Structure 1
Amino acid sequence: MSQSVAANDALAQEFVQFSLDCGVLKFGEFKTKAGRMSPYFFNAGLFDDGAKLGKLASFYAQCIVNSGIEFDMIFGPAYKGIPLGAAVSIELARLGRNVPFAYNRKEAKDHGEGGSLVGAPLKGRVLIVDDVMSAGTAARESIALIKAAGATPHAVAIALDRQEMATEKQADGSTKDVPYSAVQYVREQLGMSVCTIAKLEDLLAYLGKQPDNAMGEHLARTQAYRERYGV
C-alpha cells in the first residue's frame, strides 16, 4: 500500500469516527430520496457548531490536498454547500492555499447586485464543495451555473460517497435504478475529478473492526444494502 493510499485510508477512518461522535452518521431505518430503506443515514447539517464545522473543513482540505486536484476557486451550492464552501476556503487559506469562493441563491435577487450568484466572480477551474451526491442532480445544476458564467466546472469534493446506484426519472414520473453511481456519472460521463473524504467501503471497514455486537448487526445490514444497491 502506498503512503498516499494509507494516509487517505487513515483520514477516512478518522472521519467515520468523527461523524459518529457528532451524531451525523446514524444507524437504523431511513428512507432515502430514491425511496430505498437504508440502514444508515448521513446528515451533514448536524455539523452544527463552530468546532464541528472547523474540524469538518480540515477533513475536506486534507482530502483536497491529498487528491492533487488543481483548481482556481471554490463554489458552494445552496444550501448545505454554502457554509461548507466558506469553511473549506478558510481552512485552505490557513494551509497556505488562498482561493476565492462563491455560492448561489435558490431564488435570484432582483435588487442590489441582483442575480443568483454571490461572492467572487466565477472564472477558471471551479471546485464544487458539497456534502453528498445522491442522484447527481445538484451537481448538474451547479455545473450549468458555472458554465453559464463562463467558468469551467472542474472537480467536486464531497464528504461521503454512498457507492450506490443512482436513479433516473422516467417520462411517467417514476424512477428506475441505473447501473452507476452519481460519483461515477460525474467522473466518467462529465469528465470531472471527484474527491471524497470517505466512501461506503470505509464505513464497512470501520464497522468490521468494532468488537461489540451492535456494530456487528449494523455491519451485516449495511453489507446487505450494498449487495442490493451498490456499484
Structure 2
Amino acid sequence: MISESKKQFIEFMMAAGVLRFGEFKTKSGRLSPYFVNTGNYRTGAQISRLGEFYAQCIHETCGDRFDAMFGPAYKGIPLVTSAAGALARCHGTDKPFFFNRKEAKDHGEGGNLVGYQPQDGDRIIIIEDVITAGTAVRETVPVLLSAAQVQVSDMFISVNRCEIGQQSDRTAVMEVKEEFGIDVHALVDVRDLCEYLRGQGGYAEVLEAMERYMDRYCKF
C-alpha cells in the first residue's frame, strides 16, 4: 500500500500541473503516457513545499554526511536552491549549494559554476527532477569531476521512471550506480504512480497506457 507521504507528493505534483498524463516525447525519444515537468512549479509556496519533500528524503538518507549540493542547469537550479533552504529550515542542516551554467562565463568571476566552488575530497549530492535514460547524469558528472576531485555519492530525484537505459537488461538507475557509483533516491517511482491512480478510480485508460509503456520500457 502506498505510504501517506508518497500520496501527498503525487497529489502535490498533480495539483501543480507538474505530473501530467497524455502523450509526451521524453529526452530519450520515447513516447510516454505521463510526464513530469518541474518547470511548472511557479509559486513561492510550491517551490518551498517541494524543497521540504526533497529535504526530508535527503535528511532520512544522508543526514548531514555530505559537503555540498549540486543542481544541474536548468531545472536542477531551483530544486537545489529550495532543497538547501528546506534542509536548513526544517532539519538544521546548513550546507552549501551550487549549479552550473550551460555556457562558461568569460567575464567577472568567470567559469561555469555558480555558488559554492567544490574542493578536492568533497562529497557531493545531486538534486534533479527525473531519470529516464540517464543522459543528463552522464552530462553532469564530467562537469563536477572537471571542477575538483569530488565524490558524487547520492542523487535525489522526484520520480524514478524505472526505465531501461542504454542496455536492455538494466534500468538507467542501475547503470548510474554501475558507471558512477551514485545511489539514486526517488521520492516516488512509476509503480507508486500506478498504485495511486488505481486507488483513485477514473484512470482506466491512463493505467492501460502506462502498463503498456512499462511492459516495453521498464524493468523492476
TM more than 0.5: yes
For 1:12 and 1:138, locate their aligned partners in 2 and report how far apart those are by CA, in whole Å.
25
For 1:223 and 1:205, locate their aligned partners in 2 and report how far apart those are by CA, in whole Å.
11
**Counterpart residue identity of residue 86, structure 2:** E
1:185-217 CA distances to partner (integer Å, 9 max, x unpaired)?
A: 1123322111111100110110110133xx122
**Are the equivalent residues in 2 in contact too, given 1:210–1:216 (CA < 8 A)?**
no
1:198 and 2:185 equivalent? no
1:156-179 CA distances to partner (integer Å, 9 max, x unpaired)?
A: 11111111112x4xxxxxxxx633
Q: How many percent of aligned residue pairs carry the same amino acid?
A: 43
Provide the residue aligned with 1:38 in structure 2: 32
**Counterpart residue identity of residue 104, structure 2:** A
Provide the residue aligned with 2:201 in structure 1: 211
Q: Which moved more, 1:146-155 or 1:50-59?
A: 146-155
Detail structure 1 runs of 4+ shifted over 4 Å in the superposition.
Answer: none
Describe the SS at the equivalent of 1:163.
Answer: coil
Residues 59-138 of structure 1 aligned to structure 2 (within 5 Å): 59-68=53-62, 70-94=65-89, 95-123=91-119, 124-138=122-136
1:228 and 2:220 equivalent? no
For 1:115 and 1:216, locate their aligned partners in 2 and report how far apart those are by CA, in whole Å.
50
Q: Which moved more, 1:190-199 or 1:33-42?
A: 33-42
Provide the residue aligned with 1:145 in structure 2: 143
Structure 1 counterpart of 2:15, from 21, 28, 31: 21
Shift of 1:64: 1.2
**Counterpart residue identity of residue 140, structure 2:** S
Q: How many residues align?
A: 214
Provide the residue aligned with 1:189 in structure 2: 179
- Structure 2 segments unaligned to the other structure (5+ residues): none
**Counterpart residue identity of residue 66, structure 1:** E
1:35-57 CA distances to partner (integer Å, 9 max, x unpaired)?
A: 32211111110011111111111
Describe the SS at the equivalent of 2:130.
Answer: coil
**Counterpart residue identity of residue 157, structure 2:** I
CA RMSD after TM alignment = 1.7
Describe the SS at the equivalent of 1:209.
Answer: helix
**Are the equivalent residues in 1 in contact too, given 2:133–2:163 (CA < 8 A)?**
no
In 2 relative to 1, CA 145–35 (structure 1 residues): closer, same or farther, beyond 3 Å? Answer: closer
**Are the equivalent residues in 1 in contact too, given 2:19–2:35 (CA < 8 A)?**
yes
Shift of 1:137: 2.3
Structure 2 counterpart of 1:179, from 169, 174, 182: 169
Describe the SS at the equivalent of 2:3.
Answer: helix
**Are the equivalent residues in 2 in contact too, given 1:9–1:202 (CA < 8 A)?**
no
Shift of 1:135: 2.3
The TM-score with structure 2 as length reference comes to 0.91
